[in-house]
Each structure stands twice: as structure tokens, then as C-alpha cells.
Amino acid sequence: MTSRFSSTPRRRTVVKAVAATAAAAPVALAHAVPATAADLAPAFLHGVASGDPLPDGVLLWTRVTPGPGAVPGSGLGPDTPVRWEVAEDRDFTRVVARGDVTARAAADHTVKADVRGLRPATGYHFRFSAGGAVSPTGRTRTAPAAGATVPGIRFGVVSCANWEAGFFSAYRHLAARADLDAVLHLGDYIYEYAAGGYPAGGGVRAHEPRHEIVTLADYRTRHATYKTDPDLQALHAAHPVVAIWDDHEIANDAWAGGAENHTPGAEGDWAARAAAARQAYFEWMPVRASTEGTVYRRLRFGRLADLHLLDLRSFRSEQTGIGNGDADDPERTITGRAQLDWLKAGLTGSDTAWRLVGTSVMISPVAFGSLPAHLLGPLAELLGLPEGGLAVNVDQWDGYTDDRRELLAHLTAGGIRNTVFLTGDIHMAWANDVPVRAATYPVSQSAATEFVVTSVTSDNLDDVLNVAPGTVSLVAQAAVRAANRHVKWVDMDGHGYGVLDVTPEHAQMDYYTLSDKAKPDSSAAWTRSYRTLSGTQKVERADRPVR
């Protein structure tokens, strides 16, 4: 197997090989993480991370614990000088960039270094040091040059990782791969609920803090808890992560002015809570904020693909009910006017072979035919439907149909092809054509395609019903497909991740499923693959994962 992280630039001339086991991955942490802050001061207890790769640089991240008591969210601890280094080799004998930053209580002692001056399409190693302590070593990779001819790129794709609902084995399996350019996290990186709140009664481990998070200190503590997970630390140490938020980074079913899981008065002012959640997110995630302080932004991977990342929580109108026609109101928006115009302009101006759109909620329409009564309640919980089983999920693009209509019309009128939406949110795996008019599909055309990945741990249909996989999901899956001919595949059983392979000829999603999310050593196995061939705007099944 050829490592994706060689010290000299090169071009891929063959399809990359997949690491077979975690032992084969060049990801091992260089230094053991201390158990407590008292063991070493300063200390790097929350790992290292990189993100948002550019052709000449990447964003590096860590958190320093300056001494005993300076725990996340406490506001305690002195300013601490931190040095960062980037090298061509793991032993740091060929350092190519270094610098100094200061970890301050005002940023919860998190630090970022936006490193530039690196070579395109090159693997690097990085680390931090402070007061004699040295962080774990991470590896990262820059994007190809903007005008480069690129034979392929490959991303891990994940969403919906509830700490209480299971262990993060999906992250471990992605960390073990040596063939990824980056990992896309499509939202719900953390969950805001109180311990035992979701799933009801708790799960394999308890959230910290134990109460629902509402303050800046709360959100910082929750992020910090997640980043003590060894599999999450391994993922961040192995690959650059490109992340957007969905609702649970703030509160369930969030919109511009509130959320389903926010009670004004009892839980304070919504604007203050949302601002605290966003501040903690940017402190604790290797993400560059846009000029508006949100996560919508654009990355480019040579002439092969650009990646348009959306923020579908900060600007949206409140979710509507069903049956009163409000879902079609042109005054209602899921993107906001400025973001939709930005996306349309970016799609029109793109000169790459593929246009990838990271969207936290599903854009494909979903209607339901006749379902057994015992399935309507669980599906309503997962998809945001009323228990009566009506036709739209009002938290997704189905609740904001004018924005979807405008975007799909823009794609078709402009002849913009090879647009692929990449989605998380609903704890199921889907492969869809995105129809311009669902009611007449397939007679009417498809404007794009969509791959939806299932959850890392968050409850799916089987979990909600507490039944063995396949017990009821096969009936529900058949009903969904019968009522939605643009849905080529849906899996309501699994937890896991996706691997997206993009070449000039195809965009293919390989779906992987965990054996048991409740076991920290869960294995993973390939389940299905679907692809869209260049120029077709259609999803088709592939016989095997890309190797």
C-alpha cells in the first residue's frame, strides 16, 4: 500500500488502497495523553486536529490545559505560550513551518494556527508544545493546486454522533484508512441534551455536564468531553476534518429565532444561547468561520471538485406545520437570501468537473404512502414528521420548498451538471436522484443526486423500536421507495459512515456499517455502494467499493 502521506509531492496514478486494520494505519499517537491535568502542567488532554485544507495551507488546532483546575469551561488558568510545528516527516527532522500562539482563558485555552506556505497535495505532520509538554503528533494534507488536474479525491463522510448512544468506532475505522484526503462531518458533532435525555434513559455513557447545555461554559464542557474520546482523537490526528453544524450543536430543530428544544425564560435568551454555542464551536473545532461568523464556505480540490458547505440553521425561518400551505410560502427560507445567492453564484461560476454541496438536512423530497400504524410514530421521530404520517419533513428542505425550487431551477436552467448533495441528519443511509418535480418523476428530470450517510451512533428506527435490525425496517423501507421513485436505496438499520470517491468519471459513495455501536471494539463492514456517472444526474448501484 502506498501511503497518502509521503514527504514529497506526487500525483496519484492508481486508485488508492485501503488500510485493512487500525494497526496498519500511520496514525498512532506519538505521546500518551495524561489522565488528568494534575499529571502534567501544561498538558494536551484533548488531542490535536486539523481542518479546512487549502492548496497552500491548513488550519491546526489544540487545547492546552495550563494546570490543575483549568478545566474546560472554568475560565481558570494563566495565558500559556504554545509553539506549533509542521514537518515533512514524523520525526520532525525536516520542519517546514513553525510559529507561536497563546492559549488564553478567553478562548477556553484552545488555540488555532492558520498555516500557509505549504505545498499542494502534500502530507505533513504537526504537533504543539508548551512548557516542556509535547502534544500528540497529527498528520494532515493540503488540497491540490486550484488549476491542477486531479485523478481522484476521497473523503470519509459522517454525521450524528451522540456520546450517550454509543461508542465512536466509526471514527476509529476512518482514522485507520491511509487513503483519505479529508473527512467531512455534516453536523450533530455534539448533542445538547441532558444526560439520559436522548436516547431516553441514557445509553452507554453519560454526558458532561449532566444537565442540558445552555451557557458558554456548558457548551465548552460538552465539546471537551467529546474530545476525550480516543476514537475521535484518532480521527482528528489522522485526517483534516471539514465540518458544518446542524441543530444539536446548538439545540434541537434550531432556526434563526429559537429552537424546539429551547424554552425562553427558563433557559434564558435564545440569541445569547445561540451565540454561546457558536463561540464554543469555533473555539473547539478546526473550522474557519466565514465573514458572517457562520460555517458556510467553499473549498476547492483542483479542477476535479469544489465543495460548497452550507449553514442551514442560522438564517432559516421557523419550521411550519403541515397542511396549511406554509411550506410553499416564498417568504420562508432555509438558507437565507444571501447564502442562497452565494451558492447559486458559486455553482454557476464553477469550472470543476464536480460540484459537491455539503448540506446538513436532506434536500430530496420524501412523501409517505400507506404505512402500518406502528411505524408512523418511530418514523415521525426520526424524520420530523407528525405522527399522522403526512407528506413532508418540515425541518428539511421539504418544509422550505421555494428555496429548493429556486435552487433546482437554477441548476436546470443553467445546464449545471454533476451536482452532488452530501447529507446527514436523519440516522439513515439514502441514495437519491433529486427530482425537479417529484410527482412526475421519472418522466420529469433529475437536477442532481444526493448521498445521505447514517448516524455514527444516534438512534435509528430499530433503536427507537428496540427491535433487532430488519424486524420492521424492511416494511418501512419498501413503503418509502414505493412512494418516492427517486429514492434508489434507503437503509434504516445501520450505524456507520460513508467513503466518497470522486474521479472525473464518477462520484461514488461506499456505505459502511458497524457491527454494534454499543461495543467500543465494534467492527465495520461494507454494505452498499451507489454512484452517479459524470453527466447522468442519476444514481445507480455499484457492485463493490472503490479500492
- Name the more confident of 23 and 183: 183
Total H helices, total E strands in the chain = 9, 24
> Average pLDDT of 342-362?
98
Separation of CA 414 from chain center: 29
- Name the more confident of 461 and 83: 83
Q: What is the pLDDT of residue 375?
A: 64
- pLDDT over threshold 80, residue 390: no
Q: DSSP secondary-structure letter at 503?
A: -
**Highest averaged pLDDT of the listed ranges 14-28, 81-95, 316-330, 358-372:** 81-95
For 541, phi then psi, to 5°, come to -75, 140
Least confident of 187-201, 308-322, 460-474: 460-474
> Average pLDDT of 477-502?
92
How far is the CA of 186 from the CAs of 36, 281, 310, in angstroms? 31, 14, 9
Least confident of 14-28, 169-183, 349-363, 478-492: 14-28
Q: Which long-range contacts (CB under 8 A, 24 or more apart) does 409-414 make?
A: 409/436, 410/344, 410/347, 410/348, 411/347, 411/447, 411/448, 412/436, 412/445, 412/447, 414/347, 414/348
Number of residues that make up the chain: 547
**224 - beta bridge partners?**
none
**Cα distance between residue 190 and residue 197, in whole Å:** 14
Question: pTM of this prediction?
Answer: 0.90
Name the region of 237 (left: φ>0; alpha: ψ -120 to 50; beta: rest). Answer: alpha
- pLDDT over threshold 70, residue 323: no
- Neighbouring CB atoms inside 10 A of 291's CB total 6
pLDDT digits (tens, 9 = 90+) for 206-265: 999 999 999 999 999 999 999 999 999 999 999 999 999 999 999 999 999 999 999 999
Find the radius of gyration of the CA atoms of the chain. 22
**Cα distance between residue 311 and residue 360, in whole Å:** 8
Q: DSSP secondary-structure letter at 515?
A: S
**Cα distance between residue 430 and residue 408, in whole Å:** 19
pLDDT digits (tens, 9 = 90+) for 111-168: 999 999 999 999 999 999 999 999 999 999 999 999 999 999 999 999 999 999 999 9
For residue 411, give the 3-state DSSP assignment: helix
Q: Which cell goes with 413?
A: 436552467
Looking at every residue in the chain, the average pLDDT score rounds to 89
What are the structural domains, with CATH classification, of the chain?
Answer: 153-542 (3.60.21.70)
**Cα distance between residue 95 and residue 369, in whole Å:** 61
Secondary structure in 3-state letters for 394-407:
CCCHHHCHHHHHHH
- Name the more confident of 455 and 482: 455
- pLDDT over threshold 80, residue 12: no
Burial of 206: CB neighbours in 10 Å, binned 0-12, 13-18, 19+ = middle
> Average pLDDT of 486-513?
97
How far is the CA of 387 from the CAs of 200, 319, 374, 436, 482, in angstroms? 19, 16, 10, 27, 20
**Cα distance between residue 485 and residue 478, in whole Å:** 11
What percentage of the chain exceeds 90 in pLDDT? 76
Q: What is the pLDDT of residue 374?
A: 59
With cell 451522540, the residue in question is: 162
pLDDT digits (tens, 9 = 90+) for 423-453: 999 999 999 999 998 878 888 899 999 999 9
